[in-house]
Amino acid sequence: MKRAAVLGLTLLAGACATDNVVAFTVPAFSETASMTGLGDAADDPAIWVHPSHPSRSLILGTNKDVGVYVYGLDGSEKQRLPVGLSNNVDLRGNIAVASNDGVNALSWFRIDPSTATVSHAGDTKLARIEPYGVCVGAPGGVLQAAVTFKDGYIDIWTVGDGGTGPVTITNVKTFKLASQLEGCVFDDAANRLFVGEENVALWVIDLATGTQTQIDKVGSGTGLVADVEGLSLYLKPDGAGYLVASAQGANRYVIYDRKPPHAALGVIKIGPSADGKVDGTSTTDGLDVSSAALPGFPSGILVVQDDANPVSEIDQNFKIVDWREVEKALASK
């Protein structure tokens, strides 16, 4: 059921009756077209910023049963790429990748700036079964893809892409955590990988040394609860910025300092738009954030999956939030 319209920021107690976490509610600005139908379909978004015409930027989003959907910044559906059971999606530059459990592979996509269209560039098979989360980055200037698995493994592959023809993956490096993983995000400049261990903790891996450091623990009081889902970085100059994590079980998002020791800076929820036309979010899986200036969004956007639109597992979609509203929430803490 839709909640009352949010006019400005409202101070709310966290959703879990067992904690005293305070979250600021920020309004959704708009939403994508729905993935019409029943069931848990929408999962993870990725924001592609057009290199010369920001108004032509895109949002890619996974449908767990179909593949990858493509939306304009206005939320309209542009394309469907029916590659199969896609869970997570991420991109760097004009190449995107989705974890595809249907073919036990990574499905690759190229984005053509001249047409602002997305095409399937083939699949790279994986030896380890059931790829779950995926993220792509270029630490040290080398394009890499990290794949997370339900048994706690993380495989990081070197990616070869000549712009045409098949994408290749080689030289795998493997890390291991204790239990099920999903969300991940590279911090290219700092040579780090952030990973969510769904029911346990949020971690950062130093890719130079392999050191695994726990940033936060589920139930620590910061607002992080199971499931730890989508992760993304809001980038500022000189290593500054934010790490955003979805605390799915409490319908909220914990925001951390990008810089070590990655302190928790605040907690937000996403409520309805100011005019009440767009509902708020619940039990978010994946999310993405961009600090790029976009039309109407000079500080960038946060895009999150919404389970209930407004009824749980019916017509799921993605909500778009003006990052300036998040900045207001952080300033009000």
Q: Which pLDDT score, from 0 to 100, does residue 95 have? A: 98
Give residue 278's identity as a one-letter amino acid code: V
Q: Do the bridges between strand 192-197 and strand 241-247 make them parallel or antiparallel, or are there none, so unpaired?
A: unpaired
The pLDDT, as a whole number, for residue 3 is: 28
Q: Read off the pTM.
A: 0.94
CB 79 within 8 A of CB 70: yes
Low-confidence ranges of the chain (pLDDT < 70): 1-18
Q: What pLDDT does 301 receive?
A: 98
Counting every residue written for the chain, the total comes to 333
Map out the domains of the chain with their CATH numbers.
Answer: 10-332 (2.120.10.30)
Q: What distance in Å separates the CA atoms of residue 185 and residue 230, rounded to the nearest whole number? A: 9
231 contacts 271 by C-beta, under 8 angstroms: no
Residue 218 CA to residue 197 CA, distance in Å, equals 9
Secondary element (H or E) of residue 328: helix 323-332
Determine contact, residues 316/306, Cβ cutoff 8 Å. yes
Strand partners of residue 120: 109
Per-residue pLDDT at 9: 30
Q: Environment class of residue 96 by beta-carbon count within 10 Å: exposed (0-12), middle (13-18) or buried (19+)?
A: buried
39 neighbors 309 (Cβ within 8 angstroms)? no
- Write out the two tokens for 178: 């204790």
CB atoms within 10 A of CB 11: 10
CB atoms within 10 A of CB 308: 18
